[in-house]
Amino acid sequence: MAQKRILITGAAGFIGSHLCDRYIKEGYHVIGMDNLITGNLENIAHLFPLENFEFYHHDISKFVFVPGDLHYILHFASPASPIDYLKMPIQTLKVGSLGTHNLLGLARVKKARILIASTSEVYGDPLVHPQHEEYWGNVNPIGPRGVYDEAKRFQEAITMAYHTYHGLETRIVRIFNTYGPRMRVEDGRVLPAFFSQAIKGEGLTIFGDGSQTRSFCYVDDLVEGIFRLLLSDYVLPVNLGNPDEITIKQFADEILALVNNPKAGIVNRPLPVDDPKQRQPDIRRAKEILGWEPTYDRRSGLLLTYEYFKQVVH
């Protein structure tokens, strides 16, 4: 059988680069694409010498052209941290809307199956807990997170429209907080912030009183779920995440204990506007449809991630 060719947008980003690794390992020909506004070529530098990897430095909000056959598209390009989308609100809206439209068009021309990266942010500050896929969410369209949340909601809507109207093969994954090596140190998200502060012996910046909760999934588990979803025949959104929920205060304590730097401590900062109070994925659908569930507990995932941050934080 001819080698399968897959386009991965956001290839130089945290999750995108891990997906490149996985599909290379599975024997696919991987075409990475990224405009590098938040991605980092270091994440995929090791792939450049390979024959079955190529890379385009391109902004997918503009017309996307890829020569040759294409069997699959994974759309993972977007700023993804609250700080980034505050800094780049228009790009965030464009990549989720115009970028997705371009890729759906490309998928149609190539008769490719497309999987788009959606997010737990479609649930906003959720009034249902844990969040299952049938919950419609509680999103403030004009708040600081609206640019990301609404772009992703639009992305889901246009993806479903291409499926129903054009019969395109589409998949939608709703990704909950994910962590692991290659997260950007300064991306402002809680795990890179806490690790770099703990390693440098600074105060870990807890926003608000730290009673808000999140549930953290190790990146290899997420990638396995995405791999299974792409090969499945399921078109409705599927949550992927680790249901093990903790408060941000507990999370800070765990990282302090792991890094064990006597100079590090805790400082409190104001809670950002519209920061969701609680978040936990309901993963029954993923279990049933994909036979998937996370395999890394937080301790083993954090140990692997710490090894990475020790190398990149100075």
Question: Maximum distance among all alpha carbons in the chain?
Answer: 60
Q: In the complex, what is the shortest distance from the CB of residue 70 to ligand UDP, in angstroms, rounded to a whole number?
A: 31
Stretch that binds ligand UDP, among 47-55, 71-79, 199-207, 255-263 (CB under 6 A): 199-207
Crossing angle of the two packed helices 219-231 and 14-25, in degrees rounded to 10: 60
- Residue 65 token pair: 């052209």
Peptide bond into 130 cis (omega under 30): yes
Q: Is residue 135 a contact residue for ligand UDP (CB under 6 A)?
A: no
Considering only 10, 82, 181, 301, the residue that binds ligand UDP (CB under 6 A) is 82
Which CB atom, from 19 or from 206, has the smaller least distance to ligand UDP? Answer: 206
Considering only 137, 243, 265, 272, the residue that binds ligand UDP (CB under 6 A) is 272
Q: Strand pairing of 213-215 and 245-247?
A: antiparallel
Considering only 20, 64, 193, 286, the residue that binds ligand UDP (CB under 6 A) is 193
Q: In the complex, what is the shortest distance from the CB of residue 66 to ligand UDP, in angstroms, rounded to a whole number?
A: 31
Stretch that binds ligand UDP, among 55-63, 68-76, 207-215, 232-240 (CB under 6 A): 207-215
Considering only 206, 219, 223, 230, the residue that binds ligand UDP (CB under 6 A) is 206
Stretch that binds ligand UDP, among 7-15, 98-106, 125-133, 187-195 (CB under 6 A): 187-195
Catalytic residue of the set 148, 162, 179, 218 = 148
Q: Is residue 305 a contact residue for ligand UDP (CB under 6 A)?
A: no
**Residue 72 annotated among the catalytic residues of the structure:** no
Stretch that binds ligand UDP, among 14-22, 60-68, 186-194, 221-229 (CB under 6 A): 186-194
Q: Is 284 exposed, middle or buried (0-12, 13-18, 19+ CB in 10 A)?
A: middle
Q: Is residue 18 a contact residue for ligand UDP (CB under 6 A)?
A: no
Alpha-carbon gap, residue 91 to 94, rounded angstroms? 5
Taking residue 197's Cβ as centre, other Cβ atoms within 10 Å add up to: 23
Alpha-carbon gap, residue 154 to 157, rounded angstroms? 5
Q: Is residue 92 a contact residue for ligand UDP (CB under 6 A)?
A: no
Q: In the complex, what is the shortest distance from the CB of residue 129 to ligand UDP, in angstroms, rounded to a whole number?
A: 15
Q: In the complex, what is the shortest distance from the CB of residue 51 to ligand UDP, in angstroms, rounded to a whole number?
A: 37
Which CB atom, from 182 or from 189, has the smaller least distance to ligand UDP? Answer: 189
* Helix, strand, coil fractions of the chain, as percent rounded to 5: 40, 20, 40
Q: Judge contact between 74 and 6, C-beta under 8 A.
A: yes
Q: Is 299 exposed, middle or buried (0-12, 13-18, 19+ CB in 10 A)?
A: exposed
Identity of the residue numbered 161: A
Q: Which sign, positive or negative, has the C-alpha torsion 181, 185, 186, 190?
A: positive
Stretch that binds ligand UDP, among 60-68, 104-112, 127-135, 200-208 (CB under 6 A): 200-208
Which letter, b or e, does each residue of 225-245 get, where b requires 16 or more Cβ atoms within 10 Å of its Cβ? bbbbbbebeeeebbbbbbbeb
Q: Is residue 248 a contact residue for ligand UDP (CB under 6 A)?
A: yes
Q: Is residue 178 a contact residue for ligand UDP (CB under 6 A)?
A: no
Q: In the complex, what is the shortest distance from the CB of residue 207 to ligand UDP, in angstroms, rounded to a whole number?
A: 3
Q: Is residue 172 a contact residue for ligand UDP (CB under 6 A)?
A: no
Q: Which sign, positive or negative, has the C-alpha torsion 90, 91, 96, 101?
A: positive
Provide the binding-site residues for ligand UDP, judged by CB under 6 A: 81-82, 177, 189-190, 193, 205-207, 212, 214, 248, 272, 275
Active-site residue set: 148
